[in-house]
Amino acid sequence: MNEISAADNNYITFRFRYKKLLCVMFGFTIFILGSCSYLISVAEDMKWDFLSDFRFMTINGTLFTSVISLATFIIGIYELMTGENIRPKRLYFLRLISVVTECVIAAVILMSFLPFVPDSPNILKFDSFIMHIVIPILTIISFLIAEPPEEKIKPIMRMNGSALITIYAVVIISLILVGVIPQNKIPYSFLEVNTRPLWYVLLAGAIVYAGSYFLSWGFIEWNRRISDNWYK
């Protein structure tokens, strides 16, 4: 059995701590950007309207990512200070949910600029640019290069990446069906279950879920491979 030399052990320790430091830096940055972009978007409307704000997946996803990034930051600081590895497995899947959600948010906003889609958002606004572009990019990078991987994830478990999307869809569609969210307040055209053909809604849902599963599978594999190369 090969023994690890002192030099190799020091190198592994250095890389381990450097990776933890990246987690801390990304976590803090995403938390600050997410919080500021949400507060700025609320301040611009001069009011806080729960229904109006949280009918958008962008808002829900940004706040979820911000909270998970804060948890990553706090745990990472503790691990750097103590040298212990206390990162719970649950945090990995919460980060996976976050990165898949952010990718879906970015994809939806980019698709809204297609010629046949009316009323594209102003992506150049600070809060919109941060929520739709910057945070998704930072979340993807931080998950791929800084998140400790999990081994032997069953295929069904990869659906965990769609958890927030599922909760959002169930809640929003329920509010639309009971009339709490009126027709003119429905955030996305594919959620117009009262006026769109059933096939359109189901097709949109199938595309979102197939895409989110592919993203979840891809991020898990890319994260593992990057981590394997991290200590070489």
pLDDT digits (tens, 9 = 90+) for 158-177: 888 889 998 988 888 888 88
pTM of the model: 0.85
Q: What is the pLDDT of residue 1?
A: 44
Range picked from 120-129, 185-194, 208-217 for highest mean pLDDT: 208-217
In this predicted structure, what is the pLDDT of residue 65? 95
Residue 51 falls inside a structural domain: yes
Range of the domain at 190: 6-230
The dihedral through the CA atoms of 78, 79, 80, 81 has a sign that is: positive
Mean pLDDT computed over every residue of the chain? 82
Q: Residue 146 — pLDDT band, cuts 50, 70, 90?
A: confident
In a domain, 29, yes or no: yes
Can you give the pLDDT at residue 191?
A: 83
Residue 1 within a domain: no
User: Tokens 């659906």, residue?
Assistant: 159
What six digits make up the tokens of 187? 């955030």
21-30, 31-40, 78-87, 166-175: least confidently modelled range: 78-87
Between the alpha carbon of residue 174 and those of residues 66, 98, 177, 194, the distances in Å are 26, 23, 5, 11
pLDDT(6) > 60: no
Reduced to 3 states (helix: H, G, I; strand: E, B; else coil), residue 211 is helix
Average pLDDT for 151-158: 80
177 lies in some domain: yes
For residue 95, pLDDT beyond 50 = yes
- Give the number of domains in the chain: 1
**197: in domain:** yes
Determine, yes or no, domain membership for 30.
Answer: yes
Instruction: Please determine, for residue 119, whether its predicted confidence score (pLDDT) is greater than 80.
Output: no
Note whether residue 223 is domain-resident: yes
Identify whether 60 is part of a domain: yes
Q: Are 26 and 138 in contact (CB under 8 A)?
A: yes
